[in-house]
Structure 1
Amino acid sequence: MMRWLDRHPGALFAGLGTLVSILFLIKLWVSPDFLTDEALYAQIGRNVWNTDALSFRTSAFIVHPPLDFLLTAGWERVTGTTSSPLLDAIRSVRVLSALLCGVTAAVTAAIARDVLVGRSDRVRTVGAVVAALLVATSGFMMAFGRMALIEPLAVAAGTTIVLVAHRMRHRPMAQQIVVLGLLIGTGTLVKQTVLFAAAAPFVAALLQRDRRRIVVGAGSILVGAAVWACFPLWAAINGHGGQFVDQETESVQRLLGLVQTTGVNLPTGSPTTQFTRTFLLYSSGYASFLVGGLALLVVLIRSGLFSRTRRPDDHSALLLGWGVLGYGFLLYSFAFGAGNQQLVVYAVPVAAVLCVALLLGGRPVDDLTGLPARDLLPEQWVRTGPVRGRPLRRLTTVSAVVAGVLLLLGLGTYVGYYVVDSDDGTEQVAAYVQANVAPCVPINASGAGFRWETALPQNTVTNYRNGPRALADGVHLYLLSPKDARYAYGTMSEGFATWIRENGQLLYQTPSRSSELLQLWSVGPVPTAPAPGSSCLPTYPAPSATAPAGEFLGMFLATLGVVGAVGSAFIVRSNRRRVSRVG
């Protein structure tokens, strides 16, 4: 079997992707607990399909680029959830996320196999399997890869760009610039953070001090910027230019840490508390990052980066460029920037590849000079290990033990948190309300109200910030999450939470990994009928008529066509010049 997989890497990658997708599909509905963003993105997808509007409520939604929402809309149409209850749509999109995680694992496996050039086919196959499983069992990927968020598609896009760039590195410059530029532009229209992976080949070229590849990297980023530009152009055409500038300015400020609106670095939050509370949940991810960081240092030392006579080989440069961007983005984000834990998933693939490179990688050499190989095609590498004899056996044993510990830790986290345990606190609260609270009775939300409007469709969900004001208006039931209060999410605050605890009676509570704890409190007698004048079912305003999704899709496809046509002409011209020079 191993020999067959060695000879058929495509089947190996497809099998690994399928296996990872299956692992993510298990108990997908009840773990993890769903987030407000999941409800928001699923609803935007429905608006795209049902009303051709890239909007939520009455305004255009330009916080993130549109491509993920277009894909979500198509997926919801295929699964028949464009008009069903929103929770059904969220569950449907989670299936798509699981499939995309399988793609990420398969692509990561392919990259790991490529960087192990110089080792035997069997070692490369084992490395691909280990890399895919490290992605699948990372605590961060298991948590956020199972959600209806943008990250699963964004991580898959960024990892794919890295693979394509590495495999095209010996192709003509024009081909590389056009193909990579189209991919980078498309990826950044999923989410701009894709650039922290997509720019890895350019950083690798800088580290190699290779002018040709620097030109390729810079050119592909410029082409990608031209493709991405259809997003601000679409916003400006539809009268949202000012809103776009304001939103992008805020995004840059959040990235740099100048403004804190979410994440562990909020002034009201505590990074230490968040780290200790979730350590076991993300422990397998932390372990992979630790080993991957050690690998990055080893590659840095071995690569000859600071030598005047040596330059990093292709594979070392890729690992350094990708690793510096991935780890650098991660460290800066948590030290100064937004510090959202879902951002960690962008570094999961590079950490997995670095782990494999450290545990299974040798030091390939040029078969003619005996020096470290550089700029050679894969078939020009000889298969050598790092050492011979007893030291090799010892190193192999240590590598196997470390890899086994990483995988067992990840598997234990997966079984404990996603197979045995169910993290469905929001649905548990909804079930209690349905069984014990009369329909239409108002309930005040904790955090973002839209999440609770999705979970409690039979009740009126209010969003008061002040307890006495809510009570005066006839609201006697209050949802409360200590995390919402600590971080001042939505309308919740520490003062509001204290008022609820001091004046209320706890009716129900259930744990939730994403919200820490979900509670339902009553202040005063629990009403058995809706408050006078209250409306039972929520009424939402029509989506914006000035955010046409079809128009953006047309502009995007037209941009791809124009850039592709111009690029093709440039490629043909370059090929003719090359042929004439050879002739």
Structure 2
Amino acid sequence: MPGRTFAPGAPPPPLGPREDEKKPWWKRQPKAPRPAPAPARPLRGAPAESGTTLISLSERGWTGWLTVGRTWPLTVAVALVAFLMRAIGLARANELFVDELLYAPIGNSVAQGHLPTFQDQPFFLHPIGSFLLDAAFIKLFGLGDLGPIDLVYGLRWLIAILGAVVVVLAFRLLLKVVPLPIALGGAAVLAFDPFVLRSDSRVMLETPGTMWTLGAWLLLLGVLTNPASEPVRRWREVGVGVVFGFALVTKDMTVIQILVPLVAAIFWRRTLSAAQVGRITVGALLPYTIFVVVVAANGQLGEWLTQKTSGVRRMIGLDQVTGFNSVQVSLVDRLIAEVARFGTSYVLLGLCLVAGIGTVFARPTGRRLMGLIGVSTGLFGVYAFSAGALEEQFGYYTIVISVVVSATAIAEIRDRRPALHRPLMVAASVFIVATVVLGVSARLTVDDGMPQARAFIETQLPPDARVAVTGPVGDFAFLPREGWGQWADLQSMRDNGAQYVLTQNRILEQGYGAAAPQTLVWLQQHAQPVFVAHGPTGGDTTVWRLDPAEVDAGLARGENVAPLPDVG
């Protein structure tokens, strides 16, 4: 090759492609960047941004080589980890909860071909969606002949499966709007969060309701990003609404979580069009309409209206019969006492509204929509906390949405303020590690006092023993049963010849039981504990042996305290 000369002090011209390839790879010239792909054409009739790719592969950082299809192995791994965490300690790490002892028999009534029924009375406080899933599981695995406690533990496996599905849906939803590492971080938080783990281990309505809601949001983003003809797109939007309808027919309260962000999306920077929201709303009404028609055809529309009106009054706080505002328990004290178990969950509850506000100004449609969901969910949480019938399980949906919205906010802040990338990643990593530690600890905690008490009673007490139960968990778990009754004061214990009393001290001390807190104090002073199991939920689950002479003396001294009114 002939030599070449260059002007003194001038840099040599770049080598041609063939000459450059002869050099070692570490000395080669960097290749010119490829031109950015042309933006996708927006769909007809959709807002200007709603048809664009929300996060391009080139924006996924060092994971840009992974296409959406290639993330399915990661999705399977996320599903397995999420299910494994929910399977560990499923029967041991979560005390029986009163609502699941109510919902499991209702699901069994549906499995037997009836409308939702509890103790031979129609149950319409909540719609039928979750009970249909329970009924299918009961029929599939032949659980219909089990008693209340065993039926609950059988159905907990269904909830664990649905909880893992929630994590997968959240992961796939995040992949639509954030880079893969951030999506994986969000999936890790949901897989290990101790509060969500506990909620996914109980037969409750929130897990299936959240599953359908997340599925619908994911499908909606798919409609906005996948090209289709106008008629096909419109039917897809109706289909998204039907999936929203499955959430609505699972728990009525999801109407706020669904309708508010959809309506807000019409007015906020044209995130969605009014026609799109209209078609989604029509689809959402279909499952619930079918349910109401079936109720009316069975002649129970009046009962449905009565119970539904009561439920609405409870939800908005006019009737304070459940939740943190219904009893004289210091919520702040309870939060402080539980911070070692659910500290990361508290952070997520507080972040939902803040992260939503920080994301509604995002340019991509998907991120902006996540922000609207976060704002509406956060505002409802604030209202329920201050005035409504907020209950522990209400936080489940808020935490799941908070993870999605917070991850989206992290990605948005990182894009707008690159200098904050490192501190954001450090803070997120510390939070994820804390979540994993608390989540694993929660699964290793023994919290099954009531099943332990049942085993003691059935093996150590005489078969004809007369046992008084004093709280709703014992009532739903054991009654009706020969020789047992809800005898919650000294007078009824003596009148019914009670020999033993079953209590959970934390439930009674907080005013959630049938027996007054003073009755528990009397038992501690005048009865003999023959069995005690400790747990963080119910406290001390105790079986007391009564001395008839002590009961008579207590009544003579005027120490009888009337049971608390039934507020359920």
Does TM-score exceed 0.5, indicating one fold? yes
Among residues 169, 181, 193, which one is paired with 2:224 in the alignment?
169
Contact 1:169 1:176 in 2 (8 A): no
Equivalence for 1:533: none
Which residue identity is paired with 2:468?
N
Task: List per-residue Cα deviations over 1:194-225 (Å, max 9, x = no partner).
Answer: 32332365145234243962232144224422
Contact 1:5 1:125 in 2 (8 A): no
Tell me if 1:128 matches 2:190: no
Equivalence for 1:481: 504
Alignment partner of 2:328: what SS? coil
Distance 1:267 1:313 in 2: 45
**Mapping for residues 273-312 of structure 1, pairs under 5 Å:** 273-300=333-360, 302-303=361-362
Deviation at 1:130, TM superposition (A): 1.0
Q: Higher relative contact order by CA 8 Å / sep ≥ 6: 1 or 2?
A: 1
**Number of equivalent positions:** 483
Equivalence for 1:579: none
Equivalence for 2:542: 519
Distance 2:212 2:206 in 1: 10
Tell me if 1:351 matches 2:375: no
User: What's the TM-score once normalised by structure 2's chain length?
Assistant: 0.78
User: Which segment is superposed worse, 144-153 or 507-516?
Assistant: 507-516
Distance 1:487 1:289, change over 3 A: closer
Contact 1:39 1:90 in 2 (8 A): yes
Alignment partner of 2:239: what SS? helix
Alignment partner of 1:192: what SS? coil
Deviation at 1:24, TM superposition (A): 0.9
Distance 1:243 1:325, change over 3 A: same
Tell me if 1:266 matches 2:321: no
Equivalence for 1:406: 431
Distance 1:193 1:169 in 2: 26
Distance 2:66 2:509 in 1: 55
* Structure 1 residue ranges (4+ consecutive) displaced by more than 6 angstroms after TM superposition: 456-459
Contact 1:207 1:317 in 2 (8 A): no
Deviation at 1:44, TM superposition (A): 2.1
User: Which segment is superposed worse, 174-183 or 490-499?
Assistant: 490-499
Deviation at 1:254, TM superposition (A): 1.3
Equivalence for 1:438: 462
**Mapping for residues 20-419 of structure 1, pairs under 5 Å:** 20-50=82-112, 52-116=114-178, 124-169=179-224, 172=230, 174-199=234-259, 201-210=261-270, 213-300=273-360, 302-303=361-362, 313-361=364-412, 385-387=415-417, 391=419, 395-419=420-444
Distance 1:165 1:197 in 2: 15
Contact 2:234 2:279 in 1 (8 A): no
Deviation at 1:488, TM superposition (A): 3.8
Distance 2:75 2:128 in 1: 29
Distance 2:326 2:204 in 1: 22
Deviation at 1:18, TM superposition (A): 2.4
Distance 2:300 2:513 in 1: 25
Deviation at 1:45, TM superposition (A): 2.2
Equivalence for 2:563: none
Equivalence for 2:493: 470
Distance 1:61 1:165 in 2: 33
Structure 2: tracts of 5 or more residues without a match? 1-61, 550-568
Task: List per-residue Cα deviations over 1:512-560 (Å, max 9, x = no partner).
Answer: 333233222232169xxxxxxxxxxxxxxxxxxxxxxxxxxxxxxxxxx
Which residue identity is paired with 2:471?
G
Alignment partner of 1:506: what SS? strand
Alignment partner of 2:388: what SS? coil
Distance 1:481 1:222, change over 3 A: same
Contact 1:79 1:92 in 2 (8 A): no
Distance 1:23 1:400 in 2: 25
Equivalence for 1:529: none
Deviation at 1:344, TM superposition (A): 0.4
Distance 1:408 1:446, change over 3 A: farther
Pairwise CA RMSD: 2.8
Distance 1:193 1:6 in 2: 33
Which residue identity is paired with 2:535?
S
Sequence identity percentage: 20
Distance 1:218 1:51, change over 3 A: closer
Deviation at 1:7, TM superposition (A): 5.0
Alignment partner of 1:104: what SS? helix
Distance 1:234 1:150, change over 3 A: same
Which residue identity is paired with 1:507?
V
Equivalence for 1:375: none
Equivalence for 1:425: 449
Deviation at 1:6, TM superposition (A): 5.9
Distance 1:93 1:472, change over 3 A: same
Alignment partner of 1:520: what SS? strand
Contact 1:204 1:318 in 2 (8 A): no
Distance 1:212 1:410 in 2: 35
Among residues 497, 521, 533, which one is paired with 2:520 in the alignment?
497
Distance 1:277 1:64, change over 3 A: same
Distance 1:269 1:212, change over 3 A: closer
Distance 1:191 1:82, change over 3 A: same
Distance 1:161 1:460, change over 3 A: farther
Alignment partner of 2:531: what SS? strand
